[in-house]
Amino acid sequence: MSEAESYPVTNRNKVKRKPQRGSYDKQAVYDILDSAMICHIAYVIDGQPYCTPTSFWREGDDLIWHGSSASRMVRAQSGGVPVCLTVTHLDAVILARCGFNHSVNYRSVMAYGTAHIVDDLDEKHKLIDAFLDRFFPGRAATMRPATVQEVKATTFIRMKIDDASAKVRDLHIADDEEDYAWPAWTALYPVKQVIGPAEECPRQLPDVKMPEGMAGWTPGRKLDEVMLEMYREHYEK
């Protein structure tokens, strides 16, 4: 694998527990990130760690998210601040024949880099549109345009991924060979996050129709599949 296709393995992104589940392949990392609407971000203020859930998206090797209560701290550090952005998709619960082999199936990414506030107003304006279109392709053009006030009040934080790793478990029950004779009931329960039917705004104007860009948001679909499809529709078409 060439350097361009995978992240360097560093002391921080190296998968230490269950290393066979780890991957440093960029496409594997991107696919897990692009399938998510929500991430969790760890940062430090005065030695205290914080873990904040937020919506985010990817542009190339950059991750971008909304400001949080950490924004002031990020702004105060002109060199940026170190963060770890994590995405987790839960796929199944595994009930084995002993406590030790109980597990879950999942796809996760931990991405590391230095976070900076986006200050340029033109760039922020573009990011507001990208933030919409990444999830709802073509939506930005149908919006009441953002006011200067709103653009100023919106904080975006941007981080180039310096290194990252993906970790995946995608197995059925994996008991120790000698345990298969033990008479415990064992099973895998699939887990999925799905979207329901659109509940239109009660004050929807009578002549407004659902735009074509929302065709992929059909009831019952997995949110991670919709997210990945919308991402590709917006960025790769």
Output the smallest distance, CB 118 to its own copies, in A: 15
| Residue 168 touching its own copies (CB under 8 A) | no
63 contacts: CB under 8 Å, gap ≥ 6: 33, 39, 56, 57, 85, 111, 113, 158, 159, 161
Q: Which of 139, 160 has the CB closer to its own copies?
A: 139
| Nearest in space to 83 (alpha carbons), one of 164, 168, 154 | 164
Near its own copies by CB under 8 A: residue from 24, 135, 156, 231: 135
Backbone phi and psi for residue 174, each to the nearest 5 degrees, phi listed first: -130, 80
Q: How many CB atoms lie within 10 A of CB 63?
A: 24
By C-beta, is 30 or 131 nearer to its own copies?
131
Angle at 137 between CA 131 and CA 138, to 5 degrees: 100
Dihedral angle computed from the Cα positions of residues 58, 234, 216 and 41, in that order, rounded to the nearest 10 degrees: 10
Q: How many residues bind its own copies (CB under 8 A)?
A: 93
Examine residue 126 and tell whether it contacts its own copies (CB under 8 A). no
Which letter does DSSP use for residue 47 in this model? T
Round to whole Å and give the CA distance between 228 and 55: 14
Q: H or E element: which one contains 44?
A: strand 38-45
Site for its own copies in 213-232 (CB under 8 A): 214, 217, 223
- 118 vs 173, beta carbon nearer its own copies: 173
Stretch that binds its own copies, among 1-9, 23-31, 210-218, 229-237 (CB under 8 A): 210-218
Least CB distance to its own copies at residue 2 (A): 27
Count other C-beta atoms under 10 Å from residue 152's C-beta: 11
Contact with its own copies (CB under 8 A) among 121, 150, 171, 232 = 150
Q: Is the sign of the CA dihedral 132, 133, 137, 142 positive or negative?
A: positive
Q: Is 201 in the site for its own copies (CB under 8 A)?
A: yes
Q: Establish if 114 lies at the interface with its own copies (CB under 8 A).
A: no
Least distance from C-beta 212 to its own copies, angstroms? 11
Given the complex with its own copies, which of 5 and 176 has the nearer CB atom? 176
Residues in region 18-57 near its own copies by CB under 8 A: 37-38, 40-44, 47-53, 55
Q: Binding to its own copies (CB under 8 A): which residues in 71-90?
A: 82-86, 88, 90
